[in-house]
Amino acid sequence: MADRIRFYMDEHVPRAVTAGLRRRGVDVVTTQEAGLHPASDEQHLVFALQEGRVIFTQDADFLRLHAAGVPHGGIVYVRQQTPVSQMLRGLMLIHDVLAPEDMANHVEFL
């Protein structure tokens, strides 16, 4: 698969998840690295869409924006208190199986 999913990590995602993805060769940018801390959820969606990235979040507000029809490059949602190992497995599966176009305006739940 030529085009791979690139992730944009919401501000509350544990650093260990970002580090684990990077060790596995996944392209990841955090809100802090993008200079978007703090920013509104809408601003995060716009940035990720413009950059061709899928947002990984534990913030249910992104699900409401999706339900309201706000366009996005994809959202991966996981509940608070989910173990880091489970997050990494789920994100790697998405990265390895799906293409960016599969995630456009789509939500995956881990």
pLDDT in tens, 69-91: 999 999 999 999 999 999 999 99
Q: In what order do the strands lie in the sheet with 7-9?
A: 28-30, 7-9, 54-57, 75-77, 107-109
pLDDT-derived band at 37 (thresholds 50, 70, 90) equals: confident
pLDDT mean over 17-24: 97
pLDDT mean over 7-17: 94
Q: Which two tokens stand for residue 13?
A: 């995602």
Q: Do 54 and 100 form a contact (C-beta atoms < 8 A)?
A: yes
Instruction: Scan for tokens 């030529």, then name that residue.
Output: 2
Residue 2 has pLDDT above 60, yes or no: no
pLDDT mean over 34-44: 88
Q: Domains for the chain: give ranges and CATH numbers.
A: 7-109 (3.40.50)
Distance CA 60, CA 56 (A): 11
pLDDT mean over 21-41: 92
